[in-house]
Structure 1
């Protein structure tokens, strides 16, 4: 499975992506507005869960590596998880050197278009920690709407943050 845009290729996560996945979850600029740094064991477990491609209606994760076509450099990851609500939740993490280039929006939009067609998904959710303005802009550009704010819902670095819940309803 490959998804391509003008500048990016998205492909399933592979075993050879471990070092990049670890670096992504260890980079302070990447995780500061998302979560506390997990242990290496937690990161390894998360990686292993995302290696096996899942089906978004089976409470499994689907994780794709984002690669810059021009250079072959790994940019980040995107994908989804499905909880008991059966509405897939999208997410993405990019390395800081790729911030501000529109890559998150480009990758997420391509992924959403593909997932809507491949799995007939009608709605997607996303949760962003208050203060993560860049991620909120990406979601807005992809058509997500803020639907609720959950006060003091998530702790990062000993500080409680509001969670901003977003929804995208697809029309075909």
Structure 2
């Protein structure tokens, strides 16, 4: 499995991507408005769960590493997990790649691939209030804010609202 765009390619995560995964889940520039840093055991379990080969009926995350086509550098991860016919999307980018539109480019390509290859048409994303950059990525990819859940999530001892975004796509508007 390989998804490509003009500037990026996305490939399934492998055991060799452990250092990237550790950095994404421990760098405050990535995690500040996403989650608290997981314990070593939690992180290892998350990573191992993402190594399984994904199929449309899987109940675990499809996890793809995003690479820059020119440099070959890993810039982050993207993917989704199916729940009741809805794909919940997620993405994390290393701080040095923020602001380069890689989040939007990779998510748009992932959605197009999912619609075209697997007929997945319903998507959801949960964003912590204040994570404006992630909200912009979702809006650019056709999502709209559906619901705000006050005090839904705690990061660093502070309660935040969850912003729940949804998107419906088909092959005509992907």
**TM-score, scaled relative to structure 1:** 0.96
Task: Report 1:50-129 matches (<5 A).
Answer: 50-83=50-83, 85-129=84-128
Q: Secondary structure at the match of 2:130?
A: coil
Contact residue 88 and residue 124 of structure 1 kept, 8 A:
yes
Counterpart in the other structure of 2:170 = 171
Counterpart in the other structure of 1:139 = 138
Counterpart in the other structure of 2:27 = 27
Contact residue 56 and residue 88 of structure 1 kept, 8 A:
no
Query: Shift in Å at residue 86 of structure 1?
Result: 3.0
Query: Shift in Å at residue 69 of structure 1?
Result: 0.8
Deviations 1:116-141 (A, max 9, x none): 11110111100000000000000000
**TM-score, scaled relative to structure 2:** 0.95
The runs of 5 or more residues in structure 2 that have no matched partner are none
Counterpart in the other structure of 1:152 = 151
Task: Give the Cα–Cα distance (whole angstroms) in 2 for the partners of residues 120 and 65 of structure 1.
Answer: 22
Task: Give the Cα–Cα distance (whole angstroms) in 1 for the partners of residues 36 and 53 of structure 2.
Answer: 26
